[in-house]
Chain A
């Protein structure tokens, strides 16, 4: 590719080999650096990523952007520097300048395309597009406190703890009752989606409506609480820099 784009400058086989070699080297280094950074972000070894032997791979847009930008910059720099070096009129500073110019463009393009690839990889593995974090089934209260659904049913979770995650329908600032008896429960931001609701056996509801921002029910009898089930992407919302970067085992 590099030889083709510089065909106008090629006057001998040696120059052809030079441009060809620069393109090959830029491609190889860029790919290797990209894989290495991806592996390092995933807490694997940099060299393992370069060699293709790393057992973990980072996933999500953020990780893909960083590794893509690193690979794109490395490859672009070598390409720009090398091509400038093929011109005998250029001195070292010209080569460096050409390298950095080509590098930042490669970094930008590599970052965006790497990010999109990382995001698609995450979605294919049922993870968050942006961070690569996994989905977790949860039980949540209106104040945002939540517990993993598996922990909720675990032997080490006491009945008192389970009761703590009941959403009370009275004396609750996130619960409003309309004049027709319809109850609206505001869904907290700590959960991505409410998918289900449990209620004691002796309560009767009509028109259970589970929306994105609120849950509405019309109880026919006095109802004291419900239990909201849903899911969230782990570390959502993001509260620290490391929450942007997640990984998965390569073969699983």
Chain B
């Protein structure tokens, strides 16, 4: 008797769960909302070339690039039911595109584009450098690191695996008698793309300088390395007046990469110091 009741309860529970987990859409032409994405042509200028891209931005600030000057009208439209990482609000949509501006946006590269073994890797590098040069420009950190500078710069995306709309840039400049930390935060919430929302600077305390320098001694012997995928890589650069180093590493690529651990430790140390001084972290609410 008890078993029968238990069986009935399990069937009822299963039915309730199935109903709850089912989402139903019916397409009617006049019930479709428009999901608008704006696009703009971009010229990415590096030291040896100019690359053509098209930047797409959705109404809630998610952005991505496609290679070349793409005319989305020619590729055909799409219908969308439900939600995804890009189409966040659940609904029934007709995906539409609109030119944000006829002007070609020129973005200068603030990073070295290194030689790679194949064209696929080169395109990954270039698209990463394009995205991060765009962010640096938008937050005002446009100084390309000169060989004479004594500087550390970290660009950290606040989303590890998906579209990122919040970035932190920390720059540490070493002067003769002091060390200064600069913080910039950029966020994308609409068609305007990445906008600077927070900027600050302060002198670092002696203890923090010492902990950074101590970790730097472990990083110095490590050659430039990249571990970009899977996920969104963060960028760590440093220049001590004699050598420049650049690392592009994603947290999910770090797994199993023992050699990169000192670099990651230093990056997180700087993020922690930034959090301590400016209360910056990745839990910024809209």
Contacts and interface: CB of A to CB of B under 8 A. Distances in A.
Interface residues on B, range: 35 or more
Interface string B68-93: 00000000111111111111001010
B82 A196 contact: yes
B272 A250 contact: yes
A205 B63 CA distance: 29
Nearest to B82: A196
Contacts, number: 160
Contact of A209 (B22, B80, B261): B22
B82 A195 contact: yes
Contacts of A150: 64, 85, 161-163, 232
A157 to B, nearest CB: 9
A103 interface: no
A211 B18 contact: yes
B85 A137 contact: yes
Nearest to A251: B275
A250 B22 CA distance: 37
B84 A196 contact: yes
A113 to B, nearest CB: 25
A149 B84 contact: yes
Nearest to B252: A234
B127 A211 contact: no
Nearest to B164: A150
B163 to A, nearest CB: 6
A203 B79 contact: yes
Task: Tell me which of A155, A194, A197, A249 has the highest count of chain B C-beta atoms within 10 A of its own C-beta.
Answer: A155
A43 B261 contact: yes
Contact of A197 (B65, B81, B232, B255): B81
B76 A200 contact: yes
Nearest to A232: B161
Contacts of A251: 268, 271-272, 275, 281
Interface string B246-283: 00000110111000010011001101100100000111
Contacts of A44: 265
A252 B82 contact: no
A154 interface: yes
Interface stretch (B2-10, B24-32, B143-151, B181-189): B24-32
A43 B259 CA distance: 11
Contacts of B265: 44-45, 55
A212 interface: yes
B13 interface: no
Contact of B82 (A137, A154, A156, A210): A210
B21 A212 contact: yes
A155 B261 CA distance: 29
A155 B123 contact: yes
A201 B76 contact: yes
Contact of B281 (A155, A194, A252): A252
A190 to B, nearest CB: 15
14 contacts: A150-B163, A151-B229, A156-B120, A195-B83, A195-B90, A196-B82, A196-B90, A198-B79, A205-B81, A208-B25, A212-B21, A234-B252, A251-B272, A252-B156
Given A150-B64, A154-B127, 4 more contacts: A148-B230, A205-B27, A234-B252, A242-B255
